[in-house]
Amino acid sequence: MSSEGIDPGLDEARERLHLADWRRRMAELYAEVRLIAASDPAAAWSHWREVRDELYRAHPSSPVPPGSRASFAGRYFDYDPALRFDLPVLALEPPDMAALQPVAGPLAHLGPVPLPISTGQPISFERVGRLEIPFRSGRRTLVLFWLPEYASGFFLPFRDATNGAETYGGGRYLLDTSKGADLGSDPDRGTVIVDFNFAYQPSCAFDPRWSCPLSPPENRLDLPIRAGERLA
């Protein structure tokens, strides 16, 4: 340690400890959400909002700029039970060649694809399957991605007609399991839970110093999804 004060290396280590704690708390929150949602999804959503907002206000690794944390209050659309789905992960095949059956065995993928990013170089993900979402207005497709880096994990971003007005222009996230945002899955059935009430803004929506992967064109929905976190 320097005699002039704290070693800068210790500051960096402390920052990383805070980040590790942030990810740990988020993973714990989603574990609680999965447990509560098994019997009461609306109560799980309320718990998610309350704990998440407190973390955004008080945690040193919050994406909210420090000067805005104390007064931070998350904004959300009303809960909509019709926007929660338990969906099979379907093979990435042309519709006229597929029977729309769940993927059997290892998930098929079409190789790495670079996703756009708010700042910096694109990050390579793998397409691992597609999800057919039975919205009231008709089915829409989202591609489910996998981050093949060290931590690994599913990633499900999307854009919709609220972007740029009510929500962040670059889209929102539904799942990012390497960061703990995991609503549940059933490997034996080949399904994942997708609940748009838990859609959230990426960190760069709060502070441009963050670098965030954004939703690609194939995950742009042609309808407004008024569920989950909002900015206005």
pLDDT tens by residue, 4-49: 444 555 688 999 999 999 999 999 999 999 999 999 999 999 999 9
Count H helices, E strands: the chain?
A: 3, 10
Burial of 96 (C-beta count, 10 Å sphere; 0-12/13-18/19+): exposed
Domain ranges of the chain: 8-230
The pTM (predicted TM-score) of the whole model is: 0.86
pLDDT tens by residue, 59-94: 999 999 999 999 999 999 999 999 999 999 999 865
Instruction: Give the percent of the chain with pLDDT over 90.
Output: 72
Three-state DSSP class for residue 139: strand
- For residue 11, what pLDDT is reported? 85
